[in-house]
Amino acid sequence: RLAQERAEAEAAAAKAEQERLAAEAKSKAEAEAEAKRLAQERTEAEAAATKAEQERLAAEAKTESVIPLEGVVIPTAKDKESIEMKRLAELSVDQSINQSDLLNRLKDLVGSKQKDLDDLKEENDLSDQGIFRQPKPFKSVSAENARLEAVKRDLDKAIVNQSNSIKELEEVYKDRLKSTKNAKDEVNEFYNKEIDKLKSYQTQLLATKQNLLTKLDEIKVATDYENKRRIKRAAFDNEQARYNKDRAALQVIKQNTQVSTTSPTIDSFDFGEVVPNNISILNNIPNVDSGFYLVLAVHSDVEKRDDFVRKVIQSGERAVDFFYDVNTSKYYIYSKVFSNLNQAQMQMQKSNTEPYTSKASVVNVK
């Protein structure tokens, strides 16, 4: 008989789940036009954003390609310091180009992270509206993070090398300035300006790098939030499915259990976890109204829950019900709910003569 009841409960649960899925399908169908419109707008917005970003990067690339010394005729001189400054200046140009390349790669990776965040947020927003969106193709976050860290390391190394070259160039310049005693010397004047340009360029690059790293930190915080939001949504969907299954199981038990001519004895009841005599408080229970519940038993096991409910009905109490506390994974089986504590306590005193109420307690759900 128990096996039959379980089978009926499962069938009822399956039916309830089918009805829920049908309702969801109807809702999704109604939202399909809206989803398509949003998708079209998103595609157009992405295309416009991509074009704008390409134009911005092209403008930046054009600006950043103006590396010091490029296209500039370096004054010639044959003294040792001039030859060394020419070598260091040309080295600095090469290193500036390398820095620019690494900085642009960092920008691209930060942009990719931002797009992933935007997609995740949009997916969550649509999910909250009941609109399903096809998940993005799998992308290895760990591989992307590894590339990001590699670029950051290479850029840091390039910055150190460039800073050392500028420092060395400035030292050689000062040595030549001492020997020539003429700041207006063509060579001295040229390298003085180039050193200032290199320093200015380096300052701008460091500021851009720091802005990107700050943006990266902001993206990480926002992505963590959106991931938690998605997990919470999935947990809500799972909780709703469990609730529907529990309601169907209770309905089957009540339909198939009759009041017995011989009521079950107190020894036949498994009360599970004994609730303390003082008032217990439970917060934020999904699908449960606030109030003072006359709790008869507490079980974590579904079969023990069903057995207790069945015996309560056999004893003549058909109003028996239960709710699930997701925080403790326990079922609270109760017979009545009241709006205030005095009513609940009075009822508990009046009904404690029944075997199934022998360990009753009051639980306040808020």
pLDDT above 70 (res 75): no
pLDDT tens for 194-243 read: 889 999 999 999 999 999 999 999 999 999 998 888 877 777 667 888 88
Distances (CA, A) of 268 to 147, 310, 355: 65, 12, 9
Q: Do residues 214 and 334 both lie within one domain? A: no
Q: Do residues 93 and 230 both lie within one domain? A: yes
Distances (CA, A) of 358 to 10, 242, 253, 296: 31, 29, 22, 8
Q: Do residues 234 and 357 both lie within one domain? A: no
* CATH assignment at residue 306: 3.30.70
Give phi and psi for 326, each to the nearest 5.
-65, -25
pLDDT tens for 236-267 read: 667 888 888 899 999 999 999 999 888 899 99
Task: Give the bridge partners for 282, in sequence order.
Answer: 365
Residue 271: closest CA among 301, 314, 243: 301
pLDDT band at 53 (very low <50, low <70, confident <90, very high): low
79 within some domain: yes
192 within some domain: yes
249 within some domain: no
Q: Is 329 left (phi over 0), alpha (psi -120 to 50) or beta?
A: left
Amino acid at 61: A
Q: Do residues 123 and 225 both lie within one domain? A: yes
- pTM strictly above 0.75: no
Number of structural domains the chain divides into = 2
pLDDT of residue 29: 66
Within 13 Å, how many C-alpha atoms sit on residue 144's CB side? 13
361 within some domain: yes
Residue 230: closest CA among 325, 122, 137, 136: 122
pLDDT tens for 293-316 read: 999 999 999 999 999 999 999 999
Element (H, E) at 42: helix 2-64
Domain boundary pick from 217, 243, 269: 243
SS3 322: strand
Q: Do residues 167 and 304 both lie within one domain? A: no
Report how far residue 22's alpha carbon sits from residue 183's, in angstroms, rounded to the nearest whole number.
85
Alpha carbon 315 to its chain's center: 49
Q: Do residues 109 and 72 both lie within one domain? A: yes
User: In the predicted model, what is the mean pLDDT of the chain?
Assistant: 82
Domain boundary pick from 192, 210, 243: 243
More confident residue, 208 or 18: 208
Q: Do residues 236 and 357 both lie within one domain? A: no
Q: Find the range with the poorest average confidence among 7-11, 31-35, 154-158, 337-341.
A: 31-35
pLDDT above 60 (res 348): yes
pLDDT of residue 63: 40
Q: Do residues 112 and 140 both lie within one domain? A: yes
Residue 194: closest CA among 63, 159, 186: 186
pLDDT tens for 149-188 read: 999 999 999 999 989 988 998 898 888 888 877 667 788 8
Give the mean pLDDT of 45-59: 62
DSSP for 190-253 reads HHHHHHHHHHHHHHHHHHHHHHHHHHHHHHHHHHHHHHHHHHHHHHHHHHHHHHHHHHHHHHHH
Distances (CA, A) of 21 to 27, 197, 252, 354: 10, 66, 21, 41
Distances (CA, A) of 289 to 24, 293, 340: 24, 10, 13
pLDDT of residue 61: 42
Task: Please state whether beta strands 280-282 and 361-365 pair in parallel, antiparallel, or not at all (unpaired).
Answer: parallel
pLDDT tens for 120-140 read: 888 888 877 766 666 677 677
Q: Do residues 226 and 268 both lie within one domain? A: no
Report how far residue 114's alpha carbon sits from residue 120's, in angstroms, rounded to the nearest whole number.
10
pLDDT above 50 (res 68): no
pLDDT of residue 65: 34
Element (H, E) at 54: helix 2-64
Cβ distance 187 to 77 under 8 Å? yes
pLDDT of residue 242: 86
80 within some domain: yes
Q: Do residues 122 and 192 both lie within one domain? A: yes
DSSP for 175-207 reads HHHHHH--TTSHHHHHHHHHHHHHHHHHHHHHH
248 within some domain: no
250 within some domain: no
66 within some domain: yes
Q: Do residues 134 and 267 both lie within one domain? A: no
Structural domain including 83 reads 2-243
pLDDT band at 66 (very low <50, low <70, confident <90, very high): very low
Report how far residue 81's alpha carbon sits from residue 91's, in angstroms, rounded to the nearest whole number.
15
The pLDDT > 70 percentage for the chain reads 80
Q: Do residues 183 and 299 both lie within one domain? A: no
